[in-house]
Amino acid sequence: MATTPRIIQCTALALGVAGALAFAAPAHAAGFQLKENSVKSQGTSFAGTAAKTGDSSVVTNNPAVMTQFDRTTVQADLTVIDLNYEFQGSGTDPLGRPLTGGNGGNAGDVTPVPALSVVHKLDNGVALGAMISAPFGLKTEYDAGWVGRYAAQTSDVRIVDLTLSGAIDISDRFSVGLGVIASRADVTLSRAVDFGGLLAGARVPGFLPGSADGLAEIQGDDNGFGWLVGAHFRPTDTVSVGVSYRSEIDYELAGTADWTVPGNAAAVLGQAQPGLFLDGPGGADLTTPSILNIGATWQVTDALMLSATYAETGWSSLREVRIQFENPDPDSVEPFEWRDTYFAALGAEYALNETWTLRGGVAYDETPTSLQHRTPRLPDANRIFYSVGATWAMSDAFDVNFAYTRIEPRSPRIDTTSGGSRVAGGFDGNANLFGVSAQYRF
């Protein structure tokens, strides 16, 4: 059939499944990073996380701080992310006609992010710790048939870490720490496929863009391993500085590609090129970024403490995503060209009395994306954090922490083409983070 070569050439363009691995559309941290592993730190917009004592999330934020614990400490954190993202734009098909469909509704979701950590201090200046946390991921879903359906439909990304750390005092004022990370990545993503546009581009009679929509869903998972190191310096009794570094982690996601192809399109494709768009194995390589975290605290008075953070995330590790299929479908490649970013935060906490401590903070988070490579799965933008929090010391051994954060992205926009269809416009987005945690020392 004369249309066969043209169909093969259009396959990767029409599908563009690689764009699905851009992950979800988070408004809680730049890229698809999750910072929410400590409710106590959330109360100051995560200022000083690499230097603060008394918070056992340092197992992963900076293991060197663990030597400052004097008792075994167990901490459980839960942050609920209420993400809101609504598209306010339009689209055109390959013929320049307006795309049908609505704005996708609220693409966000209410997602719980738990964390559990424990620190045990030995008598010889050595401390050991373990933590389960989720450093990356989120879930979003657009309404079926929305105007941007060929770029994104659903996203479910889950990356969970088990971190085992150790630390030792080098002197009374300096300690170092080291950790190993065992990580699990599980990704399920889908998007609509414009088979009508694909066949119309191959000059098959009876087909037009939008006349034969199908669906592609890809699922993959893998285990990865990484490491982290940290140092904690206490030049005076009131000032502390912490530095930690988390390595990149490589995953070779392997799973399945599931296709839903309309009957009329399937009949043509079956004759033109048997074997295309069939369910089967597929996968892609993914590297999560390195993170450098620098924090400082200053105990100004017995009641007042100030804190600050400067962090860099190595998003340049995500240059492209290439999905490979065992079936004859060609590789699907999408460039991202992300850049490294920084995060800066300032916070303060004030002890009202022996029972209550209040916190507040503000932060600025830079996006790794650019308009040229931004998709509806990641309508990312620079954002500002506003946080408040409190600790209720119920006893000498038991604390309960509360935090609320409002995150405001700065005018996220997309202008992207997928399978010849263009979608452009802004997003009205924000996120509300509600956190509660408990810490017990014995």
The model's pLDDT over 147-202, given as tens digits with 9 standing for 90+, comes to 999 888 888 888 999 999 999 999 999 999 999 999 999 988 888 999 998 898 88
DSSP string, 298-348: EE-SSSEEEEEEEEEE-GGG-SEEEEEESSSPPPEEEE-----EEEEEEEE
What is the C-alpha to C-alpha distance for residues 322 and 391, in angstroms, rounded to an integer? Answer: 46
Q: Place 427 in a pLDDT band, splitting at 50, 70 and 90.
A: confident
pLDDT tens digit sequence for 205-214: 989 999 999 9
CA of residue 36 relative to chain centroid, distance:
11
CA quadruple 144, 146, 152, 157: dihedral positive or negative? Answer: negative
User: 383-413: per-residue pLDDT in tens?
Assistant: 999 999 999 999 999 999 999 999 998 888 8
Backbone dihedral region for residue 165 (phi beyond 0: left; psi -120 to 50: alpha; all else: beta): beta
> Is pLDDT at 8 greater than 60 in this prediction?
no
Whole-number Cα distances in Å, 61 to 138, 241, 316, 401:
20, 13, 21, 18
The pTM (predicted TM-score) of the whole model is 0.87
pLDDT band per the 50, 70, 90 thresholds, residue 307: very high
Q: What is the mean pLDDT of residues 231-259?
A: 94
Residue 25 is predicted with a pLDDT of 41
| Residue 435 bridge partners (DSSP) | 79, 403
**167-177 burial code (b ≥16 CB/10 A, e <16):** bbbeeeeebbb
**Structural domain spans, the chain:** 4-441
Tokens matching residue 420? 């010849």
- How far apart CA 18 and CA 325 sit, in angstroms, is 12
- Amino acid letter, residue 315: W
DSSP secondary-structure letter at 125? Answer: S
Mean pLDDT, the chain, rounded, equals 88
Q: Mean of the pLDDT values across residues 73-80?
A: 96
Question: Over 90: is that where the pLDDT of 381 sits?
Answer: no
pLDDT of residue 22: 40
To which residue do tokens 């450093």 refer? 135
For 215, counting Cβ atoms within 10 Å of its Cβ (0-12 exposed, 13-18 middle, 19+ buried), the class is middle
pLDDT at residue 84 tops 50: yes
pLDDT at 110 over 80: yes
Q: According to the model, what pLDDT value does residue 4 have?
A: 43
* Multiple choice CATH, 4-441, 1.10.1040.10, 2.40.160.60, 1.10.287.3510, 3.30.1490.20: 2.40.160.60
> Is pLDDT of 38 > 80?
yes
Query: What number of other Cβ atoms are within 10 A of residue 52's Cβ?
Result: 28
The pLDDT of residue 23 is above 50 = no
Q: Kindly state the average pLDDT of the residues 58-67.
A: 97
Examine the pLDDT at 127 and tell me if it is beyond 90: yes
Number of H helices, E strands in the chain: 5, 19
Q: If you average pLDDT over residues 115-128, what whole number do you get?
A: 94
Q: Is the pLDDT of residue 28 over 80?
A: no
State the pLDDT at residue 26: 44
**How confident is the model over 406-416, as pLDDT tens digits?**
999 888 888 88
57-71, 90-104, 319-333, 419-433, range with the lowest pLDDT: 319-333
CA separation, residue 338 to residues 30, 85, 163, 366, 400 (Å): 11, 22, 27, 12, 39
For residues 12 and 325, the model is more confident at 325
Q: What is the pLDDT of residues 347-378, one digit of tens each?
A: 999 999 999 999 999 999 998 887 777 777 77
Separation between Cα atoms, residue 147 and residue 92, nearest integer Å: 9
Distances (CA, A) of 165 to 61, 119, 162, 282, 305: 11, 9, 10, 35, 27
3-class state of residue 20 by DSSP: helix
pLDDT of amino acid 16 = 44
Determine the pLDDT at residue 198.
Answer: 87
Residue owning tokens 């590790």 = 317
Q: Could you tell me the CA-to-CA distances from 92 to 87, 144, 379 in Å, in that order?
A: 15, 17, 19
pLDDT at 20 over 60: no
Percentage of the chain surpassing pLDDT 70? 92
Question: Looking at this protein, which amino acid is placed at residue 16?
Answer: G
Residues paired with 182 in a beta bridge: 162, 225
> Locate tokens 């995150």: which residue?
407
